[in-house]
Amino acid sequence: MNQDPATTAEGIAQAITAFVSKRVGADVPADQDLFESGLVSSLFAMELVVHLEQAFSVQILGDDLKRDNFRSVRAMTALVLRLNGAGHATGA
């Protein structure tokens, strides 16, 4: 189960990159600032929240709901890993 792509950083980053690139119609390097580059509108930002919650079975609440966590593929990956990690720790 260590191989489940939904739980490795690489797998998560790949899945998020695929989703974002498809929606913005452009290649998206993991470090690119999506807000600064104008690729992500405020409405799409919320779609990212909903998408991450559904795709990775996490809940993004409270202080985690801030733009910085969604600024780049790398930032989103870190968020999902952290939220997933917390779930696994209690479930293991």
Partner 1 sequence: MLANLQSASIAVFGAGVMGRSITALALGRGVDVVLIDVSDDVLQDARAEITQQMRHGQLMGAFPAGRTPGTLTATLSGEAAADAAVVIEAITEDASLKARVMTEISRTIPAGVPLITNTSGIPVAELAKSVRRPAELAGVHFMNPAYLIEMVEVVRGPQTGDDAMAAVLSFLERLGKKTVVVRDAPGFVTSRLLHPMINEAARIVAEGTASVESVDRLMHGCLGHPTGPLRTADLIGLDNLADALRLLAERTGNSTFEPCELLMEKVRRGDLGRKTGRGFYDYGEVLS
Question: Which residues of this protein are in contact with partner 1, per CB under 8 A?
Answer: 41-43, 45-47, 49-50, 65-67, 70
In the complex with partner 1, the residue whose CB is nearer, 51 or 74, is: 51
Output the smallest distance, CB 56 to partner 1, in A: 17
Output the smallest distance, CB 75 to partner 1, in A: 13
In the complex with partner 1, the residue whose CB is nearer, 18 or 50, is: 50
Apex 51 CA angle, 63 and 74, nearest 5: 65
In Å, how far are 21, 45, 54, 82 from 64, measured between CA atoms? 23, 13, 16, 11
In the complex with partner 1, the residue whose CB is nearer, 12 or 48, is: 48
Output the smallest distance, CB 43 to partner 1, in A: 7
- In sequence order, the 6+-apart residues with CB closer than 8 A to the CB of 47 are 23
- Which one, of 79, 25, 26, 24, lies nearest residue 49 by Cα? 79
